[in-house]
Structures are given as C-alpha cells and as structure tokens.
Amino acid sequence: MGIVNVTPDSFSDGGRWLDPEAAIAHGRALAAEGADILDVGGESTRPGAAAVDAEEERRRVIPVVEALAADGLRVSIDTMKAEVAVAALDAGASFVNDVAALRDPGMLPLVAERGCDVCLVHMRGEPRTMQADPRYDDVVDDVRAFLETRAQMAVAAGVAPERIIVDPGIGFGKTVEHNLVLLDRLDELVALGFPVLIGTSRKSFLGTIAGRDTADRLPGTIATNVLALERGASIFRVHDVAAVRDALEVAAATLARTWPKTQDETTTTSRTTTSTATTTSKTPDPRPSSPSRSSGSPSTPTTG
C-alpha cells in the first residue's frame, strides 16, 4: 500500500503532494514501483495535528482519487469522516482506511451498504492528544480486544467479514515500547482471522531507536515491515514502495523457500536440486506467500 498524502502538514512529506497533479503523478509512480493499493489521505494524523473540515479534506483528495481510480488502480481513502469516504467511494475508491475505526456514526452504515474493504485501526484518543502519556494493562491484549469488538460490530451491521482488515495503529497513542511489543506479538492480532495491515513507515519510534530524522528512516521501515511479514501481516503501508517491496519479496521467498522463477532458473534449479529434493521438502508453510504484483485481495501480502 503506497501512501499519497495530499496534505500541507504530514509528518514526513507534508506539502510535497498538495497540488493534485503532483499527487496524481506520485500515486502513478508508486503504482509503477509495485504498490497494489494507493492510500490517498487529505488530513494528517500525526501527533498534535489540527483537524481539517470535511469540505477541505474532500477538496484535496477527490480529484486525486478520481484520476487514480480512472487509471484502473486500486484506491483506498484514508479518512475518519463518512462524508469524505462517501465522496471518495463515489469517485472510484474501493477501500476505506479509517484510523478512528468507525467512530463517525455515518461510517458503519456506509461501508456496510457499499460492500467496500474497510481497515479498522486502533487509536487511543485522537491525533491532537493521543501521545499524552498512553497507558495500557497489556497493550496487545487491549488492542486485540478493541479490534475484535469493532470487527464484530461491523459484521453485526452487515459488513462481510472478508472485507475487514485490522491494524494495531503503530504510533497512534503508543510509546516506543508499546509499538515494539505490538510488532513482536503481531501474530496474536493475526490470530483474530482478519488480514493485518501494518503502518510503521518513517514513524518516530524508528527515529528514536536509530537516531534518524524522517528522511533517513527507510532501514528501520524495512526492518519492521519484514518482521511484520514474518509475524503474519499482509498489507504494508509505506512511503518508499520500491525498496520495501524488494525487501518483502526476498523475505517472503526466504520464508516460503520459493520465488517466482524465470524459465532459465527453473531449468537450472531442477538440474541442480534434484538430489536434495527429499531433504528440502517440508509441510506447507502457513505464513503468507510472496507479495504479488497483481494482487486484488487484501489477504495477499500487499505493499508498499
């Protein structure tokens, strides 16, 4: 999932893609790098961000959603507002990425009626205040219980379970330690049975650990996305699509011990590995298969 921030104030790329033509070109470039989904957002959710009204948010994102969807690209709308989500779905988006997990009372009936994909994100409080002394009994248990309740609420309202994606909300009301524990125990969220989306890209905890500014957090982004893949995540929301995609493809090939082979490689490999075939056979790996460039389903590993 490639990030297209049509905002003046996003934490790592605020203002770069505020012009709709620049945002559209950026979305196309991310798709060319291998993004299966383009996540278009018109309101920053960085800690301390000021809220944007629905009219302004719509004005920023709709031309971008329209153009990318018209290209046949899969577009998600990153919004907490049903008013913005409905306009984006009308403009061709097929996925609502809601970091407030259906807090807007209009959001649940909308996603149920439209049958679109919906990502439910755990966020403690709201962006303006969420980083003020976040506390949990056990962050993984608390986040899992929240996501399970939200997903059950969505299903009860008529959302098809296969349309639901869950996300622990890295950085949304979490300390550095909370983020690390959530990543390390991500398999406990995967066990809920919904595809898990993970968003660590360039986030501040990476800078805290490695001592890097936002522009220099790609190595930390890759490390955490590879780890999330190993723990069972299937959608990876990132700014740097090409680099993360490569890392995930290699990591997925390593976990599955297979990769998309060219004709030449197939011939060579079958010649050289025949004698080891029995020793390398193993039970099918339950973990996700290699990220696919043609993916249309959120249950397939999907980059960034």
Q: Is residue 199 at the binding interface for ligand HH2, with CB under 6 A as the rule?
A: yes
- Residue closer to ligand HH2 by CB (options 214, 267) is 214
We find the least distance from the C-beta atom of residue 20 to ligand HH2, in angstroms, to be: 16
Beta partners for residue 186, in sequence order: none
Stretch that binds ligand HH2, among 39-47, 155-163, 213-221, 295-303 (CB under 6 A): 39-47
Beta partners for residue 118, in sequence order: 96, 164
- Residue closer to ligand HH2 by CB (options 62, 118) is 118
203 an active-site residue?
A: yes
We find the least distance from the C-beta atom of residue 275 to ligand HH2, in angstroms, to be: 46
Among 42, 62, 95, 97, binds ligand HH2 (CB under 6 A): 97
261 an active-site residue?
A: no
- DSSP at 41: E
Query: Which pair of tokens denotes residue 185?
Result: 């125990």
Farthest-apart Cα atoms in the chain, separation: 65
- Residue closer to ligand HH2 by CB (options 43, 66) is 43
DSSP string, 26-38: HHHHHHHHT-S-E
Query: Which pair of tokens denotes residue 41?
Result: 């957002």
Asked if residue 265 lies in contact with residue 197, where contact means CB atoms within 8 angstroms, the answer is: no
Using CB under 6 A as the binding rule, the residues of this chain from 130 to 159 that contact ligand HH2 are: none
What length is written for the chain? Answer: 304
- Residue closer to ligand HH2 by CB (options 184, 285) is 184
Q: Is residue 237 at the binding interface for ligand HH2, with CB under 6 A as the rule?
A: yes
Coil, helix or strand at residue 213: coil
Residue 204 to residue 210: CA distance in whole angstroms: 10
Residue among 116, 128, 112 at smallest CA distance from 90: 116
Active-site residue identified among 163, 203, 217, 231: 203
Which residues are known to be catalytic? 203, 237
Which residues of this protein are in contact with ligand HH2, per CB under 6 A?
Answer: 3, 5, 7, 10-12, 41, 44-46, 78, 97, 99, 119, 121, 167, 169-170, 197, 199, 237
